[in-house]
A and B are shown apart, each in its own frame.
Chain A
Amino acid sequence: MAKHATPLLDQLETGPWPSFVSDIKQEAERRKANPDNIEYQIPVDVCDDLLGILEMSYEDGETHWKHGGIVGVFGYGGGVIGRYADQPERFPGVAHFHTVRVNQPSGKYYKTDYLRKLMDLWDFRGSGLTNMHGSTGDLVWLGTTTPQLEEIFWTLTHELNTDLGGSGSNLRTPAACLGQSRCEFACYDTQDLSYHMTNEYQDELHRPAFPYKFKFKFDGCPNGCVASIARSDFSVIGTWKDDIKVDQEAVKAYVAGEFRPNAGAHSTRDWGKFDIQKEVVDLCPTGCMSWDGSKLTIDNKECYRCMHCINTMPRALHIGDERGASIFVGAKAPILDGAQMGSLLVPFVPVEEPYDEVKEVVENLWDWWMEEGKNRERIGETIKRQGFQKLLEVTGIKADPRHVQEPRSNPYIFWKEEDVEGGWDRDINEFRKRHQR
């Protein structure tokens, strides 16, 4: 018998999608039965009380967590999100319900052995509930008490060789798409770069030293499977410089219907026979492709590398061999001054170990933003306030037409004094000699 009646939540056990309510109830039952004789370090009924307080929120349409919470482990300024229930007497099991961010492996590949060890620790010292994974990428442990934090951290680091993720005004946990591990579109090793940068900047990740949060994300190609251009202050997106590789025989196989377009992604509906002209050539954003009935040609110097043709005919068209990435800066959610996506800063950068070219851009950005950024100002906002030109100056990058979607339409143009003959020091009396008042 459950500890609290949850009539509203019970409705969410119906329907075909995996029910979080059924899962939490199952965990609540398992904790109660305790088949493995675990010496639970936080209340046994934590899951019951979580469902209870959630049901209460469903009833009155309000959250029941108190504001904020500052807890953590010694040596770090982040990694744990403290949280307290605002009805601790009624739901003592969740009086403390802190969240622990655990740094996940790049691409989120796991072995069951590792996950079992993580879960053994979390069963023992936490609620047994998780979020796989947080939006930033962390493996998230949902719900434990303050005295358990150092205990969890000790076991995590000493026995599982695993660290906490980031939180606060610092570098947050980086994340990457699956990259070259299982994608033929990947233009660089996203997982390795993510891993490398995570290790390189551990200090910046664990001890908040920035004006505000800062995120890295690494996409292997412009498809953006980790959405770096929207969800990271520093977005690295793979691309190539040379020609798209065309296998004409394979193109013919698509036209003949032997290969399915988009690898069969639209096969649940009848879209008719594949029409290369209509579905590829005519949809190319720059119109740089042509099909003469037997041969597909691409005017590569006009190609934006948008991925559409490659996505549609992956067996016939392949990324080029001269690979690297573009760097975009400044994406953020709306608060305070409006949402931003990343703006192109570096059109092409080689992405090879030890990744010095990428790190140089990062460190130049940080030097500037750490000095100039206002309290709680994302780098995207600093760029808006001080200007894109300033960003180019501090990164030592030359302005390039690719830095803009279109040139400015207003004429409020600043000039540097040294670029204007005669400078700014002018004598009104000299002017008056030629122009009477």
Chain B
Amino acid sequence: MATVDYQGKAFDIDEDGFLQRFEDWSPEWVEYVKESEGIKDLTEEHQKVIDFLQDYYKKNGIAPMVRILSKVTGFKLKHIYELFPSGPGKGACKMAGLPKPTGCV
């Protein structure tokens, strides 16, 4: 387990760069991760996706299915990839501080 220091905050992460604890998330985390996820400038649309993922995770204890993410944000999957080049799982969930996706990926 590695620890990242960024703008005065410390984040414990795993090999894939996912936060070990959702509670550690802070806006600085997004700033820190964005470049490695191929994102130059954060827009309101990025924030909308991140906010929804966090709300859904707090409420349900899991990440939403892609279909639900699209439906609620109104962003088609294509647009989500435009916002987060590595996709909703590796890109958006990582930035939102959600646990690493599991299963047969």
Which residues of A are at the interface with B, using a C-beta cutoff of 8 A? Answer: 66-78, 81-82, 84, 96, 167-169, 203, 207-211, 213, 370-371, 375-376
Contacts and interface: CB of A to CB of B under 8 A. Distances in A.
A70 B105 contact: yes
A96 B16 CA distance: 10
A72 B77 contact: no
Given A68-B100, A211-B67, A74 B86 contact: yes
A69 to B, nearest CB: 6
Contacts of A75: 81, 85-86
18 contacts: A68-B105, A70-B105, A71-B16, A74-B85, A76-B86, A77-B90, A78-B105, A167-B104, A167-B105, A203-B78, A207-B78, A207-B87, A208-B66, A208-B87, A209-B66, A213-B104, A370-B67, A375-B62
Interface in B80-105: 81, 85-90, 94, 100-105
Given A209-B67, A213-B104, A69 B89 contact: no
Q: How large is the interface on B (under 10, 10 to 19, 20 to 34, 35 or more residues)?
A: 20 to 34
B38 interface: yes
Interface of B: 15-16, 18, 38, 62, 65-67, 77-78, 81, 85-90, 94, 100-105
Contacts of A207: 77-78, 81, 87
Q: 10 closest Cβ contacts across the A-B interface?
A: A77-B87, A74-B85, A70-B16, A168-B105, A74-B38, A209-B77, A84-B15, A70-B90, A375-B65, A68-B102
A72 B16 CA distance: 10
A269 to B, nearest CB: 42
Contact of B89 (A67, A70, A73, A210): A70
Contacts of A370: 67
A82 B14 CA distance: 12
Nearest to B88: A77
A67 B102 contact: yes
Nearest to B17: A70
A76 B105 contact: no
Nearest to B80: A207
A153 to B, nearest CB: 12
